[in-house]
Structure 1
Amino acid sequence: MERIAIELGDVQETLLSTLYARAVETRKKHGILRDPKAVEMVERIDYDFTKFDGSPTLVASVMRTLLLDEWVRGFLSLHPKGTVVEVGAGLNTRFERVDNGRTHWVDLDLPDSMKLRERFFTESDRRRMVAASVLDDSWHEVVRALPAPYFFVSEGVLLYLDETDVRNALGRVAQGFPGARIAFDTAGRWMVEHQDDAMFKKRVAATYAWHCDDPEEVQRWDVGLRLTESRTLLQLPRALRSRLPVLTRLALSGIKLFYGRKARVFLVNLFESQPSLRANRR
């Protein structure tokens, strides 16, 4: 089968790392995530994925994915016909993992990423694929045409934007979709400052631009977001943590013991959008 050549920007290239992380985990005998579609895509794409081998961020990426999956499933259990918007969809397969047969879905990403995505995924009566930036409001009408309530999930995207752009992007979503849930990850200051250390084997040119150790900071921006839940990757929900192999659980405990607050390299946050006081004063 012919291999698929790719042309991606620096930030968009990072989608290949998260794709590879899911494929590697799927190939394990006792992996904590099953994603055969990821394996298929890695085998089809003409790219040296092996440069990511040995990076500790692969396992971290998988745990982040699992936690976000759990939150989306929780939303769909309450609102089975609601709409999920995957911001920066890349080559994610969250729809394939959590689809309940009734939900509506929007995959959103930049044009070059969406062009690649269209080689592997197709639209349906419940699924739309939109080429646009999270900083552009043009796609809001596409979402509003689908059933409420809404759940926005953004994985490995916002941390590549500067704080001003993050604030604007989240504020526009919050004001445009009151009552929606918004889940995203952040990188702590220590991670941003040490991202180029050899131990992380980053192997891509993109650089984290925004650090956030405390999700309450986002709430204090007064853009219409109320913090509902926040977890580090070492604070997985009990049900999710129980699925991890014993050795993985022991390794996580060891990391937490020896690295302390530095273990907060990634936070996964869940917010609910509400009219902000600033918006009300206009």
Structure 2
Amino acid sequence: MAQIQVQLGDVQETLLATLYARAVETGKKRGLLRDETAARMVARIDYDFTRFGRSPMLLGSVLRTLILDEWVREFIDAHPGGTVIEIGAGLNTRFERLDNGRVHWVDLDLPDAMALRRRFFTECDRRKLLGASVLAEDWPDAVRELPGPYFFVAEGVLLYFPPAQVRLALAGLSRHFPGAGLAFDTAGRWLVDNQDAPVFEKTVAASFRWGCDDPAEIAGWGLGLAHRESRTLLQLPKRLARSLPPQTRATLGVVRAALRSRARGYQVSLFDLEPHVPEPTSPGDRIT
């Protein structure tokens, strides 16, 4: 079978790192997750994945995925026929891992990333693939064709936006989907300022552009967000934490040292979108 060529923007290229992280974890004897689909995609894509090496940041990506998986699973358990929306879906396989046979799903990403995603995934009655920016105005109507309630996940996405665009994105979600759940990751300001340090073994051109030391502060932006919970990458579901082998616990020590330096570091947070108030207006910040 012919190899699949990739042409992605700098930020979109990061989807290959998270894909590789899940494939590497799947190849371990006692990996934290099993994602055979990720392993098959890595084998099909013509890309030098060895550039990502065995960086501790790969494990960090897997831990982030597991935390988000837990919150999505809780939503599906409470609302078996609801709709989950993956913002910046990349080549994520969360639908394949968590599908209960009833849940509805929307994969949303920029057109170049979505073109690659369509090489591996197809739409069905319960699943839509939408090629658009989260800041565009046309995709919410397609989401509302699927039943509520709604739950949004943005994994490794918003921290690449400048702060003004983060506000616009959150304001748009609040306006269109009040009452929905929202889970995403943030990076502390020290981490953003020092992301090129050797300890982080950065291997992609994209850079974090938004620093947030305390996700609870976002609720003060006036965007109708209610903060429910934040976790560091070490605050795993108890069932997983208890099953970690000694080698993985040692690796987590490296991640802890990297991500807790001088700031709150890297966190994954859960919010509720409350009734919307007027959003900031800055036409130059919109992406269409």
Q: Tell me if TM exceeds 0.5.
A: yes
CA deviations over 1:93-129 (Å, ceiling 9, x no partner): 0000000000000000000000000000011110000
Distance 1:242 1:128, change over 3 A: same
Segment of structure 1 superposing worse, 235-244 or 211-220: 235-244
Identity of aligned residues (%): 59
Instruction: Point out 4+ residue stretches in structure 1 off by more than 4 angstroms.
Output: 253-263, 276-279
Q: Tell me the CA shift for residue 240 of structure 1.
A: 3.2
Give the Cα separation in 1 of the matches to 2:196 and 2:274. 37
Question: Are residues 257 and 93 of structure 1, via their aligned partners in 2, closer, same or farther at CA, if it must alter by over 3 Å?
Answer: closer
**Structure 1 residue aligned with 2:101:** 101
Alignment match, 1:219: 219
Unaligned runs of at least 5 residues, structure 1: none
CA contact (8 A) 2:234 2:252 kept: yes
Does the CA contact (< 8 Å) of 1:187 and 1:267 recur in 2?
Answer: yes
Give per-residue Cα distances to partners, 1:161-182, cap 9 Å, x unaligned.
0011001101110121111000
Distance 1:243 1:221 in 2: 39
Aligned equivalents of 2:211, 2:200: Cα separation in 1: 17
In structure 1, what is the Cα distance between the partners aligned to 2:257 and 2:141? 47
Task: Using the TM superposition, name which of 253-262 and 107-116 deviates more.
Answer: 253-262
1:244 is aligned to: 244
Deviation at 1:276, TM superposition (A): 4.3
CA distance in 2, matches of 1:158, 1:269: 12
**1:269 corresponds to:** 269
Question: Secondary structure of the residue that 1:92 maps to in structure 2?
Answer: coil
RMSD: 1.8
Contact 2:200–2:258 under 8 Å retained in 1: no
Gaps of 5+ in 2: 280-288
Summarize deviations over 1:67-108 as a string: whole Å, max 9, x none: 000100000000000000000000000000000000000000
CA distance in 2, matches of 1:120, 1:258: 34
Q: In structure 2, what is the Cα distance between the partners aligned to 1:146 and 1:242?
A: 37
Question: Offset at 1:245?
Answer: 2.2
Distance 1:176 1:123 in 2: 23
Deviation at 1:257, TM superposition (A): 7.7
What SS does the aligned partner of 1:137 have? coil
Equivalent position amino acid for 1:134 in 2: V
How far off its partner does 1:58 sit? 0.2
What TM-score results when the alignment is normalised by the length of structure 1? 0.94
Q: 2:283 maps to which residue?
A: none
Q: Secondary structure at the match of 2:228?
A: strand
Structure 1 residues 258 and 150, CA gap change in structure 2 (3 angstroms): closer
Paired residues of 1:180 and 1:272 also in contact (CA < 8 A): yes
CA contact (8 A) 1:4 1:46 kept: yes
CA contact (8 A) 1:222 1:277 kept: yes
- In structure 1, what residue type is equivalent to 2:140? H
Report the Cα offset of residue 194 of structure 1: 1.4
The total of aligned residue pairs comes to 279
